[in-house]
Structure 1
Amino acid sequence: MADWQPFPHDDSTFRYEGNALQEAWDELHRGDRAPYPDRGWVQSALDDTPGAAPGSFDGDLDGLAVGVQDAWRAFHAGRFGEAVSRAADCGLLAHAPANKAAGIYATYLEADESRQHKVFTEAVKRAELAIDALPEDPN
């Protein structure tokens, strides 16, 4: 993803550092109604589906929540490759920012059809794993 094309516009309006992401969350996710990925959300998701955690998970719920939040931050700022990379570090809990980033990137920024196909195929694989592991997840 390091070789993905950059978002061609100024992203300063869409950077949500610190508490700004949580403050803007309801407006940003009015359409998909994704819950804010805080510690409680991570705990609940892992209580329901322990296998959704990354293989490297050491029990740090706050750290994992920040990782998912950072994947969303990258997505909202148009740093699509970074969003997918950060999401990969969070296991299936961050499938939504990864797949939204991949879909937008492949559709609008990647000109090479074979690379588009690869990005979409990887997103489909992530989505299928998430559907199996997180059947109640709206995304």
Structure 2
Amino acid sequence: MGRWTAFKPRGHFSYTSQTIKKQWARLHAADCVPLPDDADILEAWTLFHNGYFEEACQLGLALDGAGTTVANKATCVYATLLEPNEPERLCLLQSACERATAHTLSTPEDPNAHYLLAYALSRYSRGISVAQALAQGLGSRIKNALETAIALQPRHADAHFALGAFHADIIDKVGPLIGNMTYGAKRETSLQLFQSGFALHPHSPFGLVEYAAALLMLEGDTQHAQATKLYRQAAALKPLDAHHYLKISLAKNGVPG
């Protein structure tokens, strides 16, 4: 794999290992990652929040199991939001899927091991055909991983948003009848999961963008005005870090991510 495309504007965020501690609760309100005791892991997360995704991934991988969460988060965010080459994107997501799968087995009590497995699988499935995704059983794996993450950490807002998006996406792809019979996907469940997520994290750019996309998948053009309103709400937010910056940039263009 080649060098990763740099986050721009580079240097826009300048957290240090000390200043990031003061913002940790805000930065991780949606995924409940605990503040690391290990200085190297904290440094990897500092690199991630500043937009140095490749460096964060490399440092996380060098720390073996302890750095898997930040390495996988950096890979997924980069692949989804910055990598311009589709084959390279899929390759990166595959590697994250493999690491996350191993992580769920070695650390089954970590909700973010399961959440990031679902994140990697869902973004990978978007890059292949529906038939391929169904044949590989990705839908069931995504759903199980997200439900496990929520069971382990009920305050994991991002997992609620992602599972709500999953239900909407399944219904959009295969229809409500087959979606319900095969995956238990329901419109009402999707909407309830989003409301649960917003109760935990009402100003999440991820949640707002995913909810807008879900409404369009579930209701079509009748929700165009509401989706536009949600995108505008996300676009008006002040980014806390590079990941937020990229999500908010998508919202400004009305693009789900």
Q: TM-score, normalised on structure 1?
A: 0.75
Deviations 1:6-46 (A, max 9, x none): 0012433x3221311211111100000111111xxxxxxxx
Question: Secondary structure in 2 aligned to 1:128?
Answer: helix
Matching residue of 1:53: none
Structure 2 equivalent of residue 96 of structure 1:
69
Corresponding residue of 1:20 = 19
Measure, in 2, the Cα distance between the counterparts of 1:133 and 1:113: 30
Match status 1:81 vs 2:80: no
- 1:2 deviates by 6.7
Give the aligned partner of residue 33 of structure 1: 32
Give the counterpart of 1:122 among 95, 102, 113: 95
Equivalent in the alignment of 1:131: 104
CA contact (8 A) 1:2 1:81 kept: no
Note if contact 2:10-2:51 (Cα within 8 Å) is conserved in structure 1.
no
CA distance in 2, matches of 1:28, 1:72: 10
Contact (CA 8 Å) 2:53, 2:74: kept in 1 or not?
yes
Amino acid at match of 1:6: A
Question: RMSD in angstroms over aligned alpha carbons?
Answer: 1.5
- The correspondence for 2:84, drawn from 111, 121, 130, is 111
Task: Tell me what 1:49 maps to.
Answer: none
| Structure of greater relative contact order (alpha carbons < 8 Å, 6+ residues apart) | 1
Report the AA paired with residue 29 of structure 1. Answer: H
Tell me by how many angstroms 1:109 deviates: 1.1
1:3 corresponds in structure 2 to: 3
**C-alpha distance after superposition, 1:48-72 (max 9, x if no partner):** xxxxxxxxxxxxxxxxx11111110
**Separation in 1 of the partners of 2:36 and 2:14?**
17
Deviation at 1:75, TM superposition (A): 0.7
Q: How does 1:47-58 map to 2 (within 5 A)?
A: none
Alpha-carbon distance between aligned partners in 2 of 1:16 and 1:133, rounded to the nearest angstrom: 31
Amino acid across the alignment from 1:95: T
Paired position in structure 2 for 1:72: 45
Bigger radius of gyration, 1 or 2?
2
3-state SS of the aligned residue for 1:30?
A: coil
> In structure 1, how many angstroms separate the alpha carbons of the residues matched to 2:11 and 2:79?
19
Change (3 A) 1:88 1:28: same
Q: Provide the aligned length of Structure 1 versus Structure 2.
A: 112
Quote the Cα distance in structure 1 between the aligned partners of 2:101 and 2:91: 15
TM-score by length of 2: 0.42
106 and 18 in structure 1: CA distance in 2 versus 1, 3 angstrom threshold: closer
Q: Which structure has the highest helix share of the two?
A: 2
Could you tell me how far 1:125 is from its partner in structure 2?
A: 1.1
Deviation per residue, 1:64-101 (Å, 9 max, x gap) = x1111111011101111001100011111122211111
Note if contact 2:44-2:70 (Cα within 8 Å) is conserved in structure 1.
Answer: yes
